[in-house]
């Protein structure tokens, strides 16, 4: 990992559950020495989370805790706080996702740590951010997705707004924090001192809202959930194949639409005044879905994948986890890679994203299953061994 982008940098990760620790995973994937601080005993609650278990242990932990060293410290005690402060004094990055004010209560806030280490990048991940009237609220992904407006525009009209089947808000917040850390490191390399990166679940979810609030401000229009398609962006929808699978077909561009009309054996529709332009197709999107739906129902999902993509039109099957696992593409792209895990044995896990040609990331160390497994080694490096 001598050529990894973050090699030589040390990050101290405080906190638990998902958004903060996933930021630490991203840092570790690209070479940083990530020291994860855990409470003695049970450690991070993510060690026991996950929908399914194997060998009576979490599967999620094997992914979230990779490329990290585990140090057990009681941050509620003065000695634990002193050790944590000493670690931060020699670090490049501190990452925490407690409620605002918690780190300050322990003498580990930005002002405390910057006094000893002015170049420190201090990243804070929370539900609502470090400022604003909601800063002290407890925040989970579900709440951030809701109040940001993201949850409202998901799903179907007149139904309860559904969540994605993943913790989307947490992942988005982690990626936002990771981006902020990298920007702060660039600024430091250009002569700036350390600074605070304030990332929140609400911020990250709201950043995806496109022009929805501007549309409301200038026209009074409030976007509503629209199911599997975007209104007036047509055709772009999911269609049921002959073998009962869902397939995305998107031809919401004049050239693509003419190609799709030809693929369907109805080239005249490409120039039909009802469909020939982007705005015309938006006016007749229901009819378009009927026509394309009838075409899709005549073919299996595999046939559609081959025929429509082969004709130069956007098409993709809606995959399950089983489909992803079986498709060689995900191994060709190293989106799925095999590693050894001390609890689960040989496992296939998500690879490193994004891909860098000269300084790629990698999985150097499997998850540590013993809380504080690296405490002695880290304290020895600190001169406290």
pLDDT tens for each residue of 148-205: 999 999 999 989 999 888 899 999 999 999 999 999 999 999 999 999 999 999 999 9
Tell me, yes or no, whether 215 lies in a domain.
no
Q: What is the CATH number of the domain that holds 372?
A: 3.40.50.10540
Strand 345-350 and strand 57-58: pairing? unpaired
CA distance 329 to 6: 28
Same domain, 273 and 140: no
pLDDT of residue 1: 52
Kindly state the DSSP code that residue 328 receives in the 8-state scheme.
T
Mean pLDDT of 282-308: 97
Name the catalytic one among 44, 170, 203, 374.
170
Task: Report whether 94 contacts 121 (CB < 8 A).
Answer: yes
pLDDT of residue 2: 62
Alpha helices in 273-332 (DSSP H): 278-283, 285-296, 301-310, 321-326, 329-332
pLDDT of residue 163: 87
Tell me, yes or no, whether 224 lies in a domain.
no
pLDDT of residue 256: 96
- Preceding peptide of 354 cis, ω within 30°: yes
Within 335-380, strands assigned E span 336-341, 345-350
Mean pLDDT of the chain, nearest integer? 94
Tell me, yes or no, whether 220 lies in a domain.
no
Provide the domain count of the chain.
2
Tell me, yes or no, whether 333 lies in a domain.
no
Phi, psi of 198 (to 5 degrees): -105, 100
pLDDT of residue 3: 82
Tell me, yes or no, whether 282 lies in a domain.
yes
Q: What is the CATH number of the domain that holds 282?
A: 3.30.1540.10
Within the chain, strands assigned E span 10-13, 33-38, 53-54, 57-58, 68-72, 93-96, 121-126, 196-200, 236-240, 246-250, 314-317, 336-341, 345-350
pLDDT of residue 385: 63
- Preceding peptide of 235 cis, ω within 30°: yes
Query: What pairs with residue 206 in β-bridges?
Result: none
Percent of the chain with pLDDT over 90: 90
pLDDT tens for each residue of 113-133: 999 999 999 999 999 999 999
Same domain, 20 and 46: yes
Same domain, 198 and 256: no
Task: Report whether 29 contacts 67 (CB < 8 A).
Answer: yes
Mean pLDDT of 270-294: 96
Res. 25: pLDDT tops 60: yes
Same domain, 142 and 276: no
CA distance to 259, 271, 306, per residue, from 255 (Å): 6, 11, 19
Separate counts of helices (H) and strands (E) for the chain = 16, 13
pLDDT of residue 234: 93
Tell me, yes or no, whether 86 lies in a domain.
yes
Tell me, yes or no, whether 278 lies in a domain.
yes
Same domain, 373 and 282: no
Host domain of residue 261: 236-326
Task: Report whether 350 contacts 64 (CB < 8 A).
Answer: no
Mean pLDDT of 217-226: 94
Same domain, 95 and 179: yes
Same domain, 349 and 319: no
Please tell me the pTM assigned to this model.
0.92
CA-nearest of 29, 37, 64, 27 to 364 is 29
CA distance 99 to 340: 35
pLDDT of residue 49: 80
Q: Is 29 a catalytic residue?
A: no
Tell me, yes or no, whether 319 lies in a domain.
yes
pLDDT band at 231 (very low <50, low <70, confident <90, very high): confident
Mean pLDDT of 56-64: 90
Mean pLDDT of 10-14: 98
pLDDT band at 384 (very low <50, low <70, confident <90, very high): confident
Taking the alpha carbons of 340, 346, 352, 355 in that order, is the dihedral positive or negative?
positive
Res. 52: pLDDT tops 80: no
């Amino acid at each position: 990992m001598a050529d990894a982008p973050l090699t030589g940098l040390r990050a101290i990760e405080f906190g638990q559950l998902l958004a903060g620790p996933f930021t630490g995973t991203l840092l570790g994937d690209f070479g940083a020495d990530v020291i994860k601080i855990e409470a003695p005993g049970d450690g991070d609650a993510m060690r026991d989370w996950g929908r399914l278990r194997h060998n009576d242990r979490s599967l999620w932990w094997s992914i979230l805790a990779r490329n990290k060293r585990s140090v057990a410290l009681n941050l509620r005690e003065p000695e634990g706080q002193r050790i944590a402060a000493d670690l931060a004094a020699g670090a490049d990055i501190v990452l925490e996702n407690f409620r605002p004010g918690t780190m300050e209560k322990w003498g580990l806030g930005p002002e405390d740590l910057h006094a000893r280490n002015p170049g420190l990048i201090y990243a804070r991940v929370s539900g609502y951010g470090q400022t604003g009237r909601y800063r002290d609220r407890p925040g989970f992904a579900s709440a951030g997705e809701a109040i940001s407006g993201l949850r409202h525009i998901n799903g179907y009209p007149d139904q309860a707004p559904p969540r994605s089947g993943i913790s989307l808000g947490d992942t988005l917040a982690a990626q936002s924090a990771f981006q902020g850390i990298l920007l702060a490191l660039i600024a430091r390399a250009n002569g700036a001192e350390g600074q605070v990166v304030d990332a929140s679940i609400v911020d990250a979810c709201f950043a995806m809202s496109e022009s929805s609030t501007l549309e409301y401000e200038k026209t009074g229009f409030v976007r509503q959930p629209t199911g599997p398609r975007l209104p007036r962006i047509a055709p772009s929808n999911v269609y049921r194949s002959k073998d009962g699978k869902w397939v995305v077909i998107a031809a919401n561009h004049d050239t693509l639409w003419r190609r799709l009309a030809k693929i369907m054996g109805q080239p005249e529709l490409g120039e039909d005044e009802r469909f020939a332009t982007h705005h015309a197709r938006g006016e007749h999107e229901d009819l378009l879905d009927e026509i394309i739906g009838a075409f899709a129902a005549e073919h299996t999902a595999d046939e559609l994948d081959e025929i429509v993509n082969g004709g130069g039109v956007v098409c993709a099957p809606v995959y399950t986890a089983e489909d992803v696992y079986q498709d060689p593409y995900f191994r060709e792209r190293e989106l799925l890679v095999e590693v050894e895990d001390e609890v689960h044995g040989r496992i296939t896990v998500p690879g490193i994203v994004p891909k860098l040609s000269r300084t790629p990331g990698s999985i150097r160390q499997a998850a540590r299953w013993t809380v504080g497994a690296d405490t002695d080694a880290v304290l020895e490096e600190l001169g406290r061994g």
